[in-house]
Structure 1
């Protein structure tokens, strides 16, 4: 199963990681790519460079960054391969021990053969 992990840091937006955090994260990323758990990962630029697009009643609105609610700003993502949601949570815990306080939303990626949401409790 593949999972998309969206990380939102509790640190002020744009706070760079320490040299130690960079080294530890680099080791986790290298190990995870080699083991096949990590399929892709990237950090995001500060929200000042971004935009939010909303459609309501067929009408689009665009809001340019920066976004005021730091808890809503995605700092980065990882696409992982895991045997279960529990395994995805375990990997994410390892990541967050390095990245620090914040929140990560874990979402299973739909694949052919998956049951619709709610029918089996697996999604």
Structure 2
């Protein structure tokens, strides 16, 4: 099972990340990579290109947009046997990071489609 874990910036995190936290997170990422659980990870620019599709035509739009107070700023694509394992990896992540907010969503691929 694949899951997308996302971290959200809601404007409450303050201050720089210290060297100890970076080292601990680096070790956690290395462990997940070695185990095969971590498929991809990265940070996201809060500025985004917005696309609206209608009648099969997609257009890039400049706004106006409702004011957003939260932005997805990071992600990890993981593969685990169960949702509980994904939740446990998320708990370990937050134990390192401290305060914050995030989301875990199951990712479906072609192998999950009916008839496959």
TM-score, length-normalised on structure 2?
Answer: 0.74
Counterpart CA distance in 1 for 2:32 and 2:5 is 14
Contact 1:44 1:75 in 2 (8 A): yes
Structure number with higher relative contact order (C-alpha < 8 Å, ≥ 6 residues apart): 2
Aligned residues: 110
Name the structure 1 match of 2:105: 107
Could you list the per-position Cα deviations for residues 102-122 of structure 1 after superposition, in whole angstroms to 9, with x for gaps in the alignment?
22211112132456xxxxxxx
Judging changes above 3 Å, is the alpha-carbon distance between structure 1 residues 41 and 56 closer, same or farther for their aligned structure 2 residues?
A: same
Deviations 1:55-102 (A, max 9, x none): 3676745247xx95342x111110111111111011011112222322
TM-score by length of 1: 0.70
Shift of 1:32: 0.7
Q: Is the 8 A contact 2:51 2:58 kept in 1?
A: no
Q: CA deviation at 1:27?
A: 0.7
